Structure 1
Amino acid sequence: MIMNTNTSSAFVMITLLILLIIPSSFFIDAEIMDYPSFVNGPNSWRNTLSTGYSFWESGSVRPILVSGMFACGFHCSFVDENCLFAVSIGSSKDNFDFSTQVVWSANRKNPVQMQALLELTSEGKLNLKDANDIVVFWSPSTPGKSISRLNLTSEGNLMLFNETNYIVWQSFDHPTDTLVRGQRLVPGQKLKASVSPDDPIEGLYAFAVSRGVFTANMDLNPPQIYYERPVEDNNSDNPYVEFKNKRFGSFYVGDSGSFIQLGSDGHLKAYELTESGWEGIDLLDLDQCSYPLQCGKYSLCSKEGCTFCSSYSIGLKGGYSQPIYSSLFSDTIITSEICKETCLKNCSCKAAIYNLGYCYFLSQVFSIEKNYSSDYYSNSAFIKVQNYPEKKRQNGAVIVASTLGAVLVVLLICGLFFLRAEKGFEEAEEHCLDNMLGMPTRFSYEELKNITKNFSNKLGEGGFGSVFHGILPLGSDVAVKHQFNFGAVNKSFIAEVQTIGSIHHFNLVSLVGFCAESSNKLLVYEYMANGSLDRWIFNQNRDLALGWQIRRKIILDIAKGLAYLHEECNQKIIHFDIKPQNILLDENFNAKISDFGLSKGTPGYMAPEWLSSCITEKVDVYSFGIVVLEILCGRRNVDESQQEEDMHLLGLFKRKQEEGQLMDLVDKCSDDMQSNAAEVVELMKVAAWCLQTEYARRPSMSTVVKLFEASVDVTGGLNEDFLNGLTLEPVDTFPSIVLSSMLSGPR
């Protein structure tokens, strides 16, 4: 009996141990084993929720491959369901809490939605497509090499192999904002921080290694460095720096660091998983005020906090410094007054730092640091601001005298103009362009002739010049705009170089370079492979008709670009001519706004206040509303091919609303648009909100963006009352009153 009792007790204890151990460890292992570490092609995967539950999906990851702590698949935002094809690191703090973090992503500029498709084709191509299987959002560059297998290593490296088991591409060679253990950073590569923790698009902060030195900088032209550090243990035979053995070059990371990430605030941190989640240790030995955007642009950073610079103060005395500048008078001792006056006359100087007889120009003004060291007691920061002179009453005598003086001055200027106008103005203009700091590349006319093959491939032509396709020496495609006409073009040219050259946003067409030689004025833009929006929404070819998700994304892209121009630039910029012809599409159908700086308005897109009152940024909001309707309806705002009562889209829009037949307006060339007609009609209400006759009733573009991103809820208020405020006839007259402080450039 004693033996039987011991045996029974032992059996019960073993059973209890099995019941306690198996539910957690076996469940976790079973979930991990469901996912392979490699797959062979051809194959495809949809971005959909699985029927079962996994710890990876609780961390917002829908895996395709899993290896150790890493998963490769769709990493989606809990907020708006935007998804990245990414490699994520995951770790469970206990059996019920699983945390993930993206360490590499393929499409950070082009998030996909639910039902997106990743396919490894029989032809050896890896394509990330939209839900309609049409638009390719990302594909790795493997020229002449086919892909037959995807493999995820235990270090988190996504590797693509060909049929002979040769590596044709790997994610470790294309870092985003993060490095994992075992990964290298080599010269020519850089970590690029995201715009914000919730927005994966590339921001300005960058981190790189070159010639044995780590640098953290603002990725401008030229880069503006805010941190440097030697790579102390770097071997001259190995110019790269590897994250291993508790170290990353001269940075000590220790055992706990799972990955290193450059944050959207410019901090470089080594992260480990703690009870409260992923926590980072800062690797840069900088105080807070040394980060260029700690307090935002045009602000003072001190130990007391952040202070915004007053627009009424031209000089800020005291110990102010900023580690981002270009020296103008490197070997010359000058006075602070000369420093200030020279900055005022320089085309691109936004501010000047004066320190003990030396003057430094800033082409960008980020947070300015207040330095308390006694060595900086004589520093001054001069910030260029707009001058608002007070109006004074003048008596008749003064007016007469001023008028006569003005006439004499005009006659004198005219005489000088006929004598030396062409040469003098051109030299002055080119001198101004030469002195612009941080501007795009300046090309010679001969270089651009070679790039464009003697201007042989014309892409289009407008009122300001012809546009030609070109290829830079390193292989990048560009669009070269050859400006023509004499006189006003010079002003427009300078305006566009000054404006666009200093503005960087994903939804604005980038200015790559320019040429200014005598009468030859050319602008070099990034190439947009799919041309202008009008060619896609106004054609009646069903094969070329854009689907609902693409059109919705294009509308959001336009809104983001306008919100940046209106609210995020140093000076508010109004485009004045938002229309489909000025919206360009890249190879992935990302929309980018072009021609700000040259625009003057197009009949049919102009807001009603052009006729009578002062102009605000709401004229762009009105034009945006017109473009949204055109995108959704697939027809022009004014279409003379229609019957007379249907010729004007706004009139037709209001009539269909009154009849309760708005769905009749949805583009019939696209079956996808028709199947999503209810959502399309809801977006028509947003367009109606933007088209109010009273500009004060129109939303700001930032509000429109928030509406798309579901951070504000205003759709309930977009009822029929909004349609009662529409202007039904297009405006075709130019304004008489314009606020010059808001223009994108001289007109």
Structure 2
Amino acid sequence: MQSFLPFKTMLPANLFFFDVMVVVILATAAPSVSGQRYDYPTANLSTRWVNNAAAEHSVTYSDGSAIRAIVLRSPQTSYGPSFAAGFFCAPPCQAFLFAVFIVYTNSGGRITLPVNGIPQVIWSANRASPVGENATLELTGEGDLVLREANGRFVWSSSTSGRSVAGMEITENGNLVLVDQKNATVLKSFDYPTDTLVHGQSLLQGMKLRANTSNTNWTESKLYMTVHPDGLYAFVESTPPQLYYNSQVIPSKTSKDPTRVTFMNGSLGIFVHSTQPGSPDASITLPTAKSTQYIRFESDGHLRLYEWSGGEWTMVSDVIKIFPDDCAFPTVCGEYGVCTSGGGQCICPVQSNSNSSYFHPVDERKANLGCAPVTPISCKEMENHQFLPLTDVSYFDVGQIIKTAKNREDCKQACLKNCSCKAVAFRWYGQNDLDGQCQSVTEVFSLQSIQPETVHYNSSAYLKVQLISSSSDPKQNKMKTILGATFAAITTVVLVVIIFIYVRRRRKYQELDEELDFDILPGMPMRFSFEKLRECTEEFSKKLGEGGFGSVFEGKIGEERVAVKRLEGARQGKKEFLAEVETIGSIEHINLVRLIGFCAEKSNRLLVYEYMPRGSLDRWIYYRHDNVPLDWCTRYRIILDIAKGLCYLHEECRRKIAHLDIKPQNILLDDNFNAKLADFGLSKLIDRDQSKVVTVMRGTPGYLAPEWLTSQITEKVDIYSFGVVLMEIISGRKNIDVSQPEENVQLINLLREKAQNNQLTDIIDKHSKDMISNHQDEVIQMMKLAMWCLQNDSSQRPSMSMVVKVLEGGMSVENCIDYNFFNANSAISAQGNPSTYSAPPQASVLSGPR
């Protein structure tokens, strides 16, 4: 969910301008008079609207779209296009926007159904988070306009509480405004444009029009149009943004007013010198309006002008199309696709006179979706980077020019030395290419084939490709084998000597270590004798469970029930053990199991924790004990508790802590099913100025993030494990379940398949009718959060504070999710070396209370 000053989430848009009379529809619980014309200029405070088909002004159109109008402005004379605000859905009408849209009204001011007059959305509040049936919109008594789902989940707010708001109305040019008692504007939708402008609407300096991802997907794409001090610019988002259109004006050196672009009848005016009415400093000519018009910035990067004509909306101008075909637009052929001028066909880059293929289509049947490298670029193998040359091919972005590269070779070498550079294009004029422009590209979108005699310049593109390392000759391999064997033998002898010396010294210092007294250390939890803990656990007779690091027993100290964990095979000295106890004991949070005390006598190492009556999470989601399925509300709360516990460890402790073993067996539940994280035995402390920690592979197979293969880890490995646990809670099964059919054994592989085929409902826990019948949409959104956490690239995963915000409704899930999740468990198994884990391969069975 994207935040905007007072308006917190936004959506698509389209608008227009004409003389009107006001009709306000109050689709509320308040009584209405049938057959009368509504004649209220505003919707007043303490009014609540419910989104359902029973609303009086609910209209379904021939294409399957529907509106439920709340406020309406209709033409003062006759009939025609009118502005309305309310709930809108596109076919198949499963998700609704609170939006401003254009409808068609009759002479009585009533919404009618023209043959081709489908409603046009011009603005929306919840662009990234549509709502379902029975969602509510409320203009509260405090003056805040709030949108909520039927279950009460917060979606969007105008954040105008306490700002003297008296009501809501829609203006004569489609501006949805909140007004005070003096009818002065407090907030207006024009200040938060989405993808559309109407007559009289301005795009101010710094504002953006964001295109939809597609005609059916309302979320924002990478394409945006914005106003800079010297004119109107269009970009595709990358690092840095890539420019594909601009309409520049020489700014005044004396003017301090922000630049604005205003949609006027017959032009798109660019005002640089003044924000006051007057002639623009420059303008883009448009067809003069014969009826209602709006301009929309669309998913293909075009800015198009539409007009109401002949009972339907007609495109009358492609405003920024300055070339005869579409090849100059950045997404016309997807990433790496080459658009052929004239024909407008999309092909993948190929090397002339070679059978080598470095790129393949994303979809063989849809060439416009682009291409992907056969071998991804690896910064660890920069010596194997090479260029695929493309003659008479240009790139649209001329903003990123390497000024130091004046010739073709300098251009290519500069890119080879920079791993973030994915391609360069070199453009020159005339026959001499010693003085040209070198364009550097960090993310490659569509390229364009050119005819130099037509465009009057020459251009070649060079795409960086990854070569597969070639094998050495047999003699070199034999020599390497001999050297390797010799080195291994020497290393073995040295290691044996080092281990022998280490064991001798450790025995010596361990005796001294036992004589030290640590009772006086400040900040330590309570210290117990081994005899005391043996007595309180009745000779360790009531075992609650066991895991990779020891067994857990039930005990009672005074009147308090406790869980005593007896560590087995502990190799730490007493100093190291007590230092770790001091660290863990200083951590206190409602969603972390509290450490009460410890014991360190001779070789005995024990930890005393608070008792958790309902045991670990796995017993409640795997149905091993024939328990009743948890309802969705309980599962949601458990997920939020886990996220808050991890957020505290990652971001709120004095030192960042990575848990490194997040799984259901390490998540414990109290009487009220409040969840707490346990078992910090694998945790790794990370200094705040460290981005990565190199450590041996730890944790439990099935929950390990892909980056464990590199041994360079951050706290993001916990977020990957959280994503796995989240899917287990939703699906009611283990991540790796050999009782399932072969194709369904691994839950993450199954999730990838179902996500790609839009069949996510298939993996919802079949035991829970509550999740399937009443909360399916919420569960799907939770799966998308899990997929965000499972991204292969750890930098693309959210932080735990972002996860908490999503769960609490403060933001929405990232849209650009890669479904090709890497199966780290399979990769690790393929290494054939299970001994590299710090924990044994079997999962713990701590399923009882503790």
Which interval holds the TM-score relative to the shorter structure? 0.5 to 0.7
Decide whether aligned partners of structure 1 residues 187 and 733 sit closer, same or farther in structure 2, where only a CA change above 3 A counts.
Answer: closer
**2:89 pairs with one of 60, 76, 83:** 76
Decide whether aligned partners of structure 1 residues 353 and 731 sit closer, same or farther in structure 2, where only a CA change above 3 A counts.
Answer: closer
Shift of 1:549: 12
> Are 1:259 and 2:332 an aligned pair?
no
> Are 1:139 and 2:125 an aligned pair?
no
**1:631 pairs with one of 717, 720, 730:** 730
Decide whether aligned partners of structure 1 residues 326 and 226 sit closer, same or farther in structure 2, where only a CA change above 3 A counts.
Answer: closer
Distance 2:242 2:410 in 1: 25
Partner of 1:346: 418
Partner of 2:214: 196
**Which SS does the other structure have where 2:420 is aligned?**
coil
Partner of 2:467: 387
**Which SS does the other structure have where 1:628 is aligned?**
helix
The C-alpha deviation readout for 1:330-351, integer Å capped at 9, x for no partner, is 15533x3343233122121010
Distance 2:402 2:121 in 1: 46
The C-alpha deviation readout for 1:440-479, integer Å capped at 9, x for no partner, is xxxxxxxxxxxxxxxxxxxxxxxxxxxxxxxxxxxxxxxx
**1:676 pairs with one of 762, 774, 794:** 774
Which residue type is aligned with residue 79 of structure 1? P
Shift of 1:316: 2.5
**Which SS does the other structure have where 1:102 is aligned?**
strand
Shift of 1:324: 1.4
Distance 2:40 2:216 in 1: 30
Distance 1:608 1:230 in 2: 48
Partner of 1:19: none
Partner of 1:248: 268
Distance 2:250 2:36 in 1: 40
- In the TM superposition, 1:417-566 aligns within 5 A as 547=633
**Which SS does the other structure have where 1:127 is aligned?**
strand
Which residue type is aligned with residue 332 of structure 2? Q
CA contact (8 A) 1:70 1:156 kept: yes
Distance 1:111 1:681 in 2: 12
- In the TM superposition, 1:702-717 aligns within 5 A as none
Shift of 1:33: 3.7
**Which SS does the other structure have where 2:213 is aligned?**
strand
Partner of 1:333: 406
CA contact (8 A) 2:631 2:771 kept: no
**1:155 pairs with one of 146, 159, 173:** 173
Partner of 2:672: none
Shift of 1:606: 4.4
**Which SS does the other structure have where 1:314 is aligned?**
strand
CA contact (8 A) 2:296 2:305 kept: yes
**1:362 pairs with one of 441, 444, 447:** 441
- In the TM superposition, 1:612-627 aligns within 5 A as 627=726
Count, aligned residues: 463
CA contact (8 A) 1:37 1:67 kept: no
Distance 1:733 1:220 in 2: 31
The C-alpha deviation readout for 1:288-319, integer Å capped at 9, x for no partner, is 11101111110111223211114539333422
Partner of 1:296: 334
Distance 1:681 1:383 in 2: 43
Which residue type is aligned with residue 204 of structure 1? K
CA contact (8 A) 1:605 1:626 kept: no
CA contact (8 A) 1:607 1:623 kept: no
Decide which structure has greater helix share. 1
- In the TM superposition, 1:1-12 aligns within 5 A as none
CA contact (8 A) 1:579 1:605 kept: no
The C-alpha deviation readout for 1:696-746, integer Å capped at 9, x for no partner, is xxxxxxxxxxxxxxxxxxxxxxxxxxxxxxxxxx979943449xxxxxxxx
The C-alpha deviation readout for 1:569-617, integer Å capped at 9, x for no partner, is xxxxxxx999899xxxxxxxxxxxxxx9999895264499999xxxxxx
**Which SS does the other structure have where 1:199 is aligned?**
coil
Distance 2:766 2:318 in 1: 58
Partner of 1:283: 319
Question: How much is the aligned-residue C-alpha RMSD, in angstroms?
Answer: 5.1
> Are 1:63 and 2:69 an aligned pair?
yes
Shift of 1:361: 1.1
Shift of 1:100: 0.7
Distance 2:765 2:219 in 1: 35
Shift of 1:65: 0.5
Show structure 2 runs of 5+ residues with no match. 1-33, 75-81, 106-111, 270-282, 351-356, 359-385, 428-432, 491-616, 622-629, 641-659, 666-690, 709-718, 737-744, 748-763, 788-823, 833-850
Decide whether aligned partners of structure 1 residues 67 and 51 sit closer, same or farther in structure 2, where only a CA change above 3 A counts.
Answer: closer
Distance 1:682 1:320 in 2: 47
**2:47 pairs with one of 43, 47, 54:** 43
CA contact (8 A) 1:56 1:63 kept: no
Partner of 1:169: 187
Which residue type is aligned with residue 70 of structure 2? I
> Are 1:114 and 2:147 an aligned pair?
no
CA contact (8 A) 1:319 1:377 kept: no
Partner of 1:102: 121
CA contact (8 A) 1:296 1:367 kept: yes
Decide whether aligned partners of structure 1 residues 203 and 407 sit closer, same or farther in structure 2, where only a CA change above 3 A counts.
Answer: farther
Shift of 1:363: 1.0
Distance 1:402 1:35 in 2: 91
Distance 1:148 1:50 in 2: 27
**Which SS does the other structure have where 1:214 is aligned?**
strand
Which residue type is aligned with residue 197 of structure 1? N
**Which SS does the other structure have where 1:148 is aligned?**
strand
Which residue type is aligned with residue 283 of structure 1? V
CA contact (8 A) 1:603 1:731 kept: no
Distance 2:387 2:335 in 1: 16
Residue identity (%): 31
**2:700 pairs with one of 592, 599, 603:** 603
CA contact (8 A) 2:135 2:147 kept: yes
CA contact (8 A) 2:87 2:96 kept: yes
The C-alpha deviation readout for 1:33-69, integer Å capped at 9, x for no partner, is 4585521010111110136576576651111111121
Which residue type is aligned with residue 335 of structure 2? K
Decide whether aligned partners of structure 1 residues 377 and 179 sit closer, same or farther in structure 2, where only a CA change above 3 A counts.
Answer: closer
The C-alpha deviation readout for 1:636-687, integer Å capped at 9, x for no partner, is 979xxxxxxxxx999xxxxxxxxxxx989549xxxx659738x69999xx99
CA contact (8 A) 2:166 2:179 kept: yes
CA contact (8 A) 2:402 2:440 kept: no
Distance 1:204 1:259 in 2: 22
Distance 1:407 1:32 in 2: 98
The C-alpha deviation readout for 1:128-185, integer Å capped at 9, x for no partner, is 001112x211111337524331111121111012345332210011100001112111
Partner of 1:314: 387
Partner of 1:179: 197
**Which SS does the other structure have where 1:369 is aligned?**
strand
Show structure 1 runs of 5+ residues with no match. 1-29, 412-533, 539-543, 555-575, 582-595, 612-619, 639-647, 651-661, 691-729, 739-747
CA contact (8 A) 2:224 2:237 kept: yes
Decide whether aligned partners of structure 1 residues 125 and 94 sit closer, same or farther in structure 2, where only a CA change above 3 A counts.
Answer: closer
Q: Which moved more, 1:238-247 or 1:218-227?
A: 238-247
Decide whether aligned partners of structure 1 residues 102 and 32 sit closer, same or farther in structure 2, where only a CA change above 3 A counts.
Answer: farther
Distance 1:291 1:132 in 2: 43
**1:206 pairs with one of 190, 210, 224:** 224
Which residue type is aligned with residue 270 of structure 1? L
Which residue type is aligned with residue 223 of structure 2? Y
CA contact (8 A) 1:31 1:54 kept: no
